[in-house]
Structure formats: C-alpha cells, structure tokens
Structure 1
Amino acid sequence: MYSNGVIEFSEAQTAELTAIVAAVQQADAALAAAEASRVRALARAGELAREVSAGKPSRVREHDMALRSIAATIGVPARVSDRSMQRQIGDATVLAERYPGTLEARGRGEITRQHVYAIQDAAADLPDDAVPAFEAEALERCRRDTVGRVKAELEILAQRMHPRSFAERHASAREDRRITTGRLPDGMSGLYLVGPTPMIAGIDDRLNQVTTGIIDARTAAIAAVNAAGGAPVGDDDARIPAQILATDTRTRAQIRADVAVDLLLAGSPVADPTAMGDGPGTLGAIRAKIQVVVPALSLLKPQGDENGPAEPADLVGYSPIDAETARAIAEACDTWWERLVTHPATGAVLHTDGYQRTAAIDRYLRARDRHCRFPGCRLPAIRCEVDHTIDYALGGKTDVCNLAHLCQRHHSMKQFAGWKVKQLDGGILEWTSPVGTTYTDYPPTPGVHFAPDPYDPDAPPPPDAGPPDASDAPF
C-alpha cells in the first residue's frame, strides 16, 4: 500500500512480517548451533588422526595417511572430495583450538559466520599467546555491531597487540608493491595493482567520482535528446554531441574500467563529456578524497622505543594504515584527504582539519559519524548525504543535534520505506523498523587511540603542557 510515496504496511502485513522475522531468527539460531557442532566434529576428526599416529616411528607420514583416510571416510557420503574435507578438518581444528571463545559465541548465535572470519583474518599474524586477549575484546565488539562496522576495529586492535609494530610490518610489505598482468580468454587481460592502502583507496574514489560524472552527463543527454524530439542538441563541437552520449549503454563497471585505462594511458578521461575546447573538462579535474582518523601523537615525529611505536591510523571504510604513511599524507597532500585528530588518552575527537574547505558543522558531523548511521552500514561519511533527522520542511533545525550522515540507499529508506529515526543526545540514533522493532545506533568509538596510563581528568596538567597537535570453510 502506498501513501504519498511512502510504503505503508497493513496490520495483517505487519503481523506477517513480524512472523517472518521470528522465523528467520529461529532458523539462524539453529544454523549457528549446527555449524558450531559440525566444526567441533571435524576438529575431533583431526584429534583422532593425531591419536592414531601417536608414538609411531614415522609419525608425520602416519598422521598424514590417517588424516587422508578419515577425510575420505567423512567426505565420500557427503559427496565432498577427500582433499576438500581434509582442508575443512584443518580449518575446523584451527578454529576450535585457537579461537574457542569465537566458536562458542557462534554456536550460541551471538555472532555471524562473517564475524568468525573477520576475527580469524585480523588475528592471523598474532602469536598464540596474544590471541586470548584479542579474542575476548574482539567478541565484545562483534556482539554489538555488523562485521562491516567492526572489521577495521578488529584489524587495528590486532595491530596494537602484535609484538612487532605495524610500521615495521608495513615497511616490509611496502617493498612488495607491484603491478602484474595476466591473460584471460577471448583476447582479454587483467591488471592487478598492489600498493599502500591510501593510494589504492584514492584511486578507487577517483574512479567512482569520474564514473558518476559520466553517468550524470549521459542521463542529462538522454533527457535533452528526448526533449528535442531528435533534433540536434547543442552547438559546441568540442563537447561530445548529446545524441552520441545518449546512446552510451555501458554499465558502471565498464565505465570504471574504461576510465582507468584512459587515466593510465592519457592522464585524463579521453571521452570527457564536460570537455570544452582544448582544455580539460571538469571530470579531468576530479581528484581523489579519503578520510583518515589519526591519533594526535602519530602526527608528531616518530616515537622512539622509550615511547613505544606510533599508533596506526584508520582509513575509514578500508583498513588501518601505519603512522608514517599518515604523516606523509598530512605533509604532502592538502586537497585529497580529510584528517580527524583524536585525543592521545581518551581517543575522543579533538578537532578536524578539513583540508578541502568545508563548513564547520560538516566537519563536526564527519568527525562524529565517520560513516552512514543506519544500523550496520559502514559507507564512509564523505560518500554520504547529511540528513535532517526531523525534516527541515517539518520544522527540523539545521543543527548537529538534528543532522546525521546517511548513504543514499538508507536516506531513501527513511523517506519512503517505513523506517523511522529519532536522534537522542550525543548523536545517538534510535531507528524503528516497519514492524516496530527498535535499534540503537551509536556514533562510532574512535578506532585509534593511545593510552599508556589510566586517564585521570582531575589530575593537574604537567608543567608547560599544551594541547596536542593537530582507526574452504569448515562451516
């Protein structure tokens, strides 16, 4: 049923949707328990292989043969190859022995399968003795939010607990930056670029912006051609004729690929519909933009051993980056990044440096929200719209207490799909689904902070203290 363009549910439909939600939750709980039970059974199969080979002279060979036999015995009736089943047994053994708390939480349905993968991926490089402490804190975060929201937090948490600093490991990994190519069927080839995360994120953002500009220009051209009834549109020969642009049927993925080729071969989009005369068009002038959350102390000179390693920064929507890279971006780039500086003890945002000139209220909101504020969405705030929680037309104020970032998808859901939202103190959003269920979305906790000592707000400041300078599966 539609009313003024807004989706509305009848009482019967609301009751049916409520029953559907309950059925899905019941099925999810049963599935989670079954997955955990299967992992434990496969892990026990791995233990059995070790027991069979224990004490044998050629223990390694005996263990491998026993494991092969067990894998085949389990795999054949399940129509799974023994090799695949052996990998599943190995994965199950790792999960059960290295992450027992994670397996328990999955079995109780407290976290999803994707949360399990995220915990394992983040802790893959941690030594065994650091895993229990990491797992305990990681599970607390996973229980309260979606995997997309917590993934970067888990990665940063693992970086803090690793005995080797993130900067040292990044320096080693940076040596492996490269571009490789590979042949594909039918006269096609692939290009794979490995480089520092901020650079790859910037490339991705620029491709998205230019692609959106081309699609917008195509949409306008189609409208102009339709309005002209087929007559010639425009009189500037330097611009791509609207009739030609309107016939462009490329998908977004195809346009992104074409733009990447243009940028690498020619330095700017070759077929730029905004180009005028001999100069570049507005699409060629587009530059990348990324959002980095960085601890205040990480912007200072590199810290020596006596102060410990500098904390990593958080490239919002992607992953942690090392402090050295964050400092290099701050020093070299004044147009394509936005820095949010966090307190060295509490992790609270001290202030923002919008290097691209923006209004103070927008800088504050980006610092507070960091991403779309619909439950579970992690699209970076720089790609979202600033929404009036109470519509301006209905008397809502243009004030930080009535504003929040929403991506286009979830902005539309708020307007037309029956979801309601109320903003509480501190930027907390209280969402209500069409069936009346309430979900609370909190502003993200700072993903990066440095706390060498307990923070005491009543302690007197040190002499001459000033403000700090400007985060095959076994299932």
Structure 2
Amino acid sequence: MDSTVQLMDPALPETRVEFGMARAEFAGMQAARAAAEQWSACADVLREARAYPEVYTGPGPVDAARVEFAVRAAAADLAVRLGVTEPVVRDQAARADVLIRRMPLLWAWFREGEIAASHMRVVADVITGMPDQVLSRFEAEVLERRGLPLPRFRAQVRLLAARLHPQELATRHEIAASKRAVWIESEPDGMALLITRMPETDAHRALAHVDHLARQAVTHPDEARTLAQIRADIVRDLVAGDLTAGTGVGVSVGVLIPVETLLGVAERPGTLDGVIPIDPDTARDLAGESAFWRRILTDPVSGTVLDYDRRSYRPPADLDRLIRTTHPVCDFPGCGRPSRTCDLDHTIAWQHGGTTSAANLRPLCRGHHRLKHETRWATDGTHWTSPTGHTTPGAKANDPPPF
C-alpha cells in the first residue's frame, strides 16, 4: 500500500495527530480574528459615544465632562455585555485605535488571524509615544518576528523599540515609572496574587533581598518549608509589617464567620470581605486576633440582620455596617470593588422620597456612583439597565452573600 495513502488513514495515530495540529492552528487564527473584531467594535462604540453623548447621558448641553461620562457609560455597557471589566474594554479600544492608525499593515495581518492577540498587545503598548518617522521601519521588522513565541517576541520588540526610539531611554523610563502601582488578583482556593508594577531594577533588587533572607531561613534545621514558600512568607511579612515592630498599618477587613463555626460545633467556611472563602480554622483564628480585623457573626438560620428605616440622609454606623456586610462588593454588575471602599447610594433618591434603609441603600464605588447620577444608567435595586436598554442583575442578585 502506498505510504501516502497509509498516512491519510484516520485509524493511524500520525493522521489523528496531524489533524489535531491543524485544528489547533485554525482555532488560533479564528481567535485572533475574533479578538481583532472585538477590539475594533469596542473602539467604534466608544468613538460613537464621544460623537453622540446624548445616547448615554440624555439631552442637554455638551461639554467635556458630559462626553467623558458618555464614554464611561458606554464602556460599562460593553463590559456588562462581554463579561469583562471596564478597563479591559477601554484597553481594547485604545489598542485598536493606535494599531489601526499607526500600524495598518500589522493590523491587517491581525484581522486575517496571522498574528496572535497576545503579540498585538505587546506592539500596542510599545508604540505608544513612538514618533511617526520610525514607525514604518518598526512595523516591517516586527512583521519579520511575528512567528516568534511570545516571550522572545516581547523581548525583541522591546529591544527594537528602544533602538529606534529617538527619545532617551531615561526619559521614557521616568514616564513609565510614574505609572507604578500595586493591586490584587484573586485566584482559586483562597489564594491571590499581590502584583507590584515598579522599575525593573527595583524589582530585581527587592527579589534579591527576599531571596537572601529566604536562603538564610531555609538552612535552619527545623525548617520544613520550600525555598519558594519561604520567599512568599517573607514578602507577606515584610509588606504586612510583621517583621518590624510597629510598622503595621491598621485596616478594617470584614471577616464573616458563621456562629456555629466560631463555637466549634460546625465546620462551615468564613469569608473575607464577604467574597473570599477562608477555611474554618483560619476564620476562628482571625476572630480572636488583631484589631485590624472586624469580626461579624452571621445568623445560622437566615444569615440576615434586622432591617432599619432611618429618617436621616446619612446612615448611622450600625446600618452602614449592615449594608457593607450584606453587600460585600459594589452593586454595579461586574465591578467587584470591596464595599468597605464604596459610597452608599440611595436606590430611590433621597429627594424623591427614598428612605435611608437597608432596602434602599446599595454600595457603589465612586466611579459607578457618579455614572448612575450623570448618565442614563439606572437601577431598581435588583437589576441595572444600560443607556442602550440592556438589563442585567446587580452584584447581590448575581452573587449573594455566602450565609
């Protein structure tokens, strides 16, 4: 039998492997095309919001603030529909704008699925601020490297940009360093990433210091942790102020603990800020530790606290605590900002007869609080309706408190 015919036989593993490879490659191209389309659509929607803000804010005089609120309302609308965050929508739109305008050839390859979205993110971030006179050469050289794996592609594109950019690297570094920040990304099983953006030299110096301390600790005869675990514990203790007396910063983090768990008669989990699960032993430990933690016991049957109805506009401390406990995050769909950092908003406005009560108060982060009052975003306390008519449940309806 001819060898070519044999290789086409679907019963042969070689054929199945080759078919699987082709499927994966085709899916990768489809994913790139879909990403390009989504980025472009986000850019178009935000562009329309800038041109016609009345769609999102209603009729009235147009000024810069009103246009910005329209863009924010449109970004929120897209974020809810796509199941992503508003910064992701804005990033996708901004990348599409800059790539279509400044890298048209590269964008055409992207639209055809010949360059991965991960690679295009690198290019979009690198060319911000690059002068027009070097873009043609930069684009041509990037196209030659489009097939490289992402780590090598990222390194080579950054080196290429540094070589072609006429502005001094020190000046660009100073601008980039002004964007340093710290944030958290949650992971499964009660874990999280504490991420810091800082100058690379500082990052390497910090890691070298942590590694030095960890290698000293790992030599202790009673040490059972791995070197990686020790590094993580040292970073935690340094940042939390536990390695130097008096350096801790007092913060209030809600710890929700079922009373049966606290009493040791059940093993139901607790939560941090109402959203991050913690095991029963950790919950019990936190219930008796530092004043940095605010202990809140939940009813074992209903999980609720008695409602209130106040005559004052500003909620008293006990009602404030109730709302932030039963609504652990900003009520806007998909926001996720902890309620302890949010404003308390009257669903029915105070001036329109709304009461200062648990039934009429919801936490809204400052951005979404202003969005509700400055645009046509609206809520009935359970669902939110976008200026374009899309309705979605609020945070509590989507993710009620665990108890």
Q: TM-score, normalised by structure 1?
A: 0.36
Q: Which has the higher helix share?
A: 2
Q: TM-score, normalised by structure 2?
A: 0.41
